[in-house]
Amino acid sequence: MSFVSMAFLLLFVFSYLACKFCKNREQKHIVLLITSYVFYAYWDARFLLLLILQTFISYYLARKIVQASTKEQSKRFMILGVSTALAILCFFKYFNFFIDSFARLFAIQNLGTLNIILPIGISFYTFHSLSYLIDVYRGKLKACDRFIHLALYISFFPQLVAGPIVRARDFLPQLDEDRPMNRDNLTEGLQIFLFGLIKKVVIADRLAVCVDTVFASPNSYSGLSLFLAVVAYSIQIYCDFSGYSDMAIGTAKTFGYNLCKNFDMPYLSKNPSEFWQRWHISLSSWLRDYLYIPLGGNRKGKTRTKINLMITMLLGGLWHGANWQMIFWGALHGGALTIHKTFREQCDLHDLHVKNKILKQIVSVASVTGMYLFTCLCWVFFRAQSFSVAITIITRIVTGAGGIQYYYFFTYLFVAIIAMATVVGVIRNQGHGFYPLLPLDRFWAKVVILLVILLTFIFYYAGNNVFIYFQF
């Protein structure tokens, strides 16, 4: 079920009213869990059983971890839970990729693959299960006494299919509190939802028209047209995914729950490290805490640190898609992180730091520009249908090849809007994102909101509105 659908509107209204009539928080949890399962089953009811099975395994093994008589026994239960969750994920998402790669490596013909349907959101709820089990084992979190609490954490419908990846230690404590469903939370949540809706249906979906057309036949278009399409895609994927995150955060807020921030104006980043502190924050912090640090982080020397960075980004690329192209995309970011870390080490070693204020500002602008262009280069491999198509696009852009001049009006319009929003963020919030919420107790604010809703209905793109990250 998509947020951009009448089915979701009806489900939201029904569940919200039902929660308002609940006499206690336990009844509210039951309503929200039923809502979450209906939300997921609407796509394919068969995979609801897989979601429930994953939840039960996590619930059972977490309790065994706590009840274990020795640390070694506790560790075995944790490893069993993590291995089971990863095995389920790997079968559905990576089985055919591994089989196909093995066959190509050894030149085996007709090894065969399975017709496996990828359950929507499996990567996200698997990460929820993994972090829960690991945190229980580490002693950072108590195992849930009630199955419904863990079930609601793993399957809470706003973030179920495309994040943010919420930590159990951030969400589960909220279930032990009487979270208010008051007017303030409703108005704030709906405004955040509307903010994300505009990003998705007005900006991202309209830019998809240009991006899909140009990327489908890059040899037909000029280098400048291809460059503009790449810029359009950088805005499309940002508005598509951050728009979903905003809608998830806003929906959760209406029920009184807080979800973590997932984007923070990432295209203002000056370097690769900062980019991953601003882009898909819940994933990058998850990879840091549950992969990079357990590998050794930066505790085992400079060389090992860079190896750990590369491994983390390679697996991050694989998480985004079961193909070598995504792994290469991860390798590009991993390489950039290691180069940046080496550069910073040399600057610190030789005290090569810019001290002049004017020159420092020039360097900052150049760094932001260079990082954005590098990110766009990486997006080409992320979006293109194959390596060869990606190389063709980059080559034609660099050489300024001739071809069809396709200057999509909405690319210029939305670049200007994003630029203005960025300037506002720099001035009002020191370069960080924020939600421009209005005080709805004022008449003028209500008029503005109504005008925004009207303009959204007028300018939204009525074509394909599937969220990009549903495929991950």
Inside any domain, residue 394: yes
Single out the residue of 129, 209, 470, 146 nearest to residue 321, CA to CA.
Answer: 470
**Greater confidence, 341 or 460?**
341
Instruction: Give the pLDDT mean for 233-241.
Output: 95
pLDDT at 472 over 80: no
- Residues noted as catalytic: 320
214 and 111 co-located in one domain: no
Distances (CA, A) of 82 to 76, 79, 129, 130, 451: 10, 5, 8, 6, 49
Tokens of 273: 């490290």
Most confident of the ranges 94-98, 154-158, 321-325: 154-158
Among 179, 213, 237, the domain boundary falls at 179
* Whether residue 110 has pLDDT greater than 70: no
Evaluate whether residue 13 is within a structural domain.
yes
456 falls in which pLDDT band (50, 70, 90)?
Answer: confident
- Round to whole Å and give the CA distance between 446 and 467: 29
The answer to whether residues 341 and 410 belong to one domain is yes
384-396 pLDDT, tens per residue?
999 999 999 999 9
| pLDDT beyond 80 at 103 | no
pLDDT at residue 469, rounded to an integer = 73
Please indicate, yes or no, whether residues 161 and 199 belong to a single structural domain of this protein.
Answer: no
Question: Average pLDDT in the 254-274 region?
Answer: 95
Q: Torsion-angle region of residue 412: left (phi > 0), alpha (psi -120 to 50) or beta?
A: alpha
* Paired strand residues for 221: 404
pLDDT digit string, tens, across residues 188-198: 999 999 999 99
pLDDT tens track for 307-348: 999 999 999 999 988 788 999 999 999 999 999 999 998 888
What is the total count of domains within the chain? 2
The CA-atom distances, in angstroms, between 74 and each of 64, 68, 172, 394 are 7, 5, 22, 51
For the chain, the average pLDDT equals 91
Question: Of 153, 179, 205, which residue sits at a domain end?
Answer: 179
**Sorting pLDDT into bands at 50, 70 and 90, what band is 108?**
confident
Name the band, by pLDDT with cuts 50, 70 and 90, for residue 111. Answer: low
* Dihedral, 200, 201, 203, 207 alpha carbons, nearest 10: 100
Q: What is the pLDDT of residue 102?
A: 67
Please report the pLDDT score of residue 301 as a whole number: 86
Give me the mean pLDDT over the 11-40 stretch. Answer: 95
Confidence of residue 30 (pLDDT cuts 50, 70, 90): very high
Distance CA 325, CA 157 (A): 31
pLDDT at position 43: 87
25 inside domain: yes
Helix, strand, coil tally for the chain in percent (to 5): 75, 0, 25
Asked if the structure places residue 157 within a domain, the reply is: yes
DSSP H helices, 384-442, are 387-399, 409-429
Same domain, 104 and 204: no
Q: Are residues 150 and 207 in the same domain?
A: no
Residue 185 resides in a domain: no
In a domain, 353, yes or no: yes
255 closest CA partner among 376, 152, 402, 350: 152
Q: Are residues 83 and 155 in the same domain?
A: yes
Query: Does residue 172 sit in the same domain as residue 285?
Result: no
The pLDDT, as a whole number, for residue 1 is 78
Is 41 among the domain residues?
A: yes
Q: Name the residue range of residue 44's domain.
A: 6-179
What integer pLDDT is reported at residue 455 of this predicted model?
87
Same domain? 271 vs 331: yes
Domain termination site, one of 148, 179, 210: 179
Overall average pLDDT of the 206-229 stretch: 94
Average pLDDT for 113-135: 88
Q: What are phi and psi of 95, to 5 degrees?
A: -55, -55
Query: Do 321 and 350 share a domain, yes or no?
Result: yes
For residues 396 and 393, give the distance between their C-alpha atoms in angstroms, rounded to a whole number. Answer: 5
Which ranges constitute the DSSP H helices of 42-70? Answer: 48-67
Same domain assignment for residues 136 and 195: no
In the chain, the amino acid numbered 83 is S
Residue 51 has pLDDT above 70, yes or no: yes
Please tell me the predicted confidence (pLDDT) of residue 172.
Answer: 95
Same domain, 166 and 257: no
pLDDT exceeding 70 applies to what percent of the chain? 97
Find the farthest-apart pair of alpha carbons in the chain and give their distance in angstroms, rounded: 71
Q: Is residue 184 part of a domain?
A: no
pLDDT at 127: 94
The average pLDDT across 198-211 equals: 93
Which range is least confidently modeled, 30-44, 113-127, 129-143, 272-286?
Answer: 113-127
157 shares a domain with 219: no
Contact 143, 237 (CB under 8 A): no
